[in-house]
Amino acid sequence: MSTFLETYFPNVIDIQGEIVESIWEALYMVVVTALVASVFGILLGITLVVTEEGGILENRRIYNFLERAVNVFRSVPFIIMLALIAPLTRLIVGTSIGTTAAIVPLVVGTVPFYSRQIQNALLEVDEGVIEAAESMGSSPIEIIFRVYLKEGLPSIIRVSSVTIVNLIGLTTMAGAIGGGGLGNLAIARGYNRNQTDVTLVATGIILIIVFVSQFIGNHFVKKTSH
């Protein structure tokens, strides 16, 4: 076994510590970004749904503004976003370099995507059910929590899992601002130093993280849909 590894993955053996560190960096970025972005994303998604024309708190001005903002931010390529919002990152984190610093652009890059996903998930909730809730005297807040979020839960979990996969993809670019992570490992180590085995291992680990999060997502989607 050890000879097999030594033959085919010579560089990987040498930098085991660095690989473990990269995994932690990647997971740290994914988890913290997911937590922060889910709060903003869900808030924005709900706001988009309820302020839309015909929504329970219809408000064209707010809707149009958010709609455009989401579109603009989604259109900026992430690698440019990393550089673009460096001043904001410095303001929040104190530095614009490093793993924690990468979380700010990751959040900014994920929220528009996630809020759009949440919006679509909530729009799947049958309008008739919303109308029924209104006819029973539910207030907008009640409708949001007891109807939209409750009825939309399986869809919300599904789009969250999609977003996590998307987010894992984004973290691989964090290396550009010194954020480390598995993408950095694959490029800076594997590619630049021509250590293909490192690239392969980094890819494998990313795939495993993706599959595990998809599996967890699917499991909960199944468990919550009736």
- Pick from 64, 71, 139, 196 the residue near other proteins by CB under 8 A: 139
Q: What is the per-residue DSSP string for 82-129?
A: HHHTHHHHHHHHS-SSSHHHHHHHHHHHHHHHHHHHHHHHHHTS-HHH
Which member of 60, 74, 150, 219 binds other proteins (CB under 8 A)?
150
Binding flag, residue 134, other proteins (CB under 8 A): yes
CB-CB contact of 63 with 133 (8 Å): no
**Is residue 147 close enough to count as binding other proteins by CB under 8 A?**
yes
Q: Which one of 11, 92, 93, 154 is in contact with other proteins (CB under 8 A)?
A: 154
CA atoms within 13 A on the CB side of 35: 6
Find the shortest distance in angstroms from Cβ 45 to other proteins: 18
Cα atoms found within 13 Å of the Cα of residue 146, Cβ hemisphere only: 11
**Total of chain residues touching other proteins, rule CB under 8 A:** 22
CA 39 to chain centre: 11
Q: Which residue type is seen at 197?
A: D
Which of 15-23, 33-41, 64-72, 141-149 is the region at the interface with other proteins (rule: CB under 8 A)? 141-149
Write out the residues near other proteins by the rule CB under 8 A. Answer: 126, 128-129, 131-139, 142, 146-147, 150-151, 153-154, 224-226
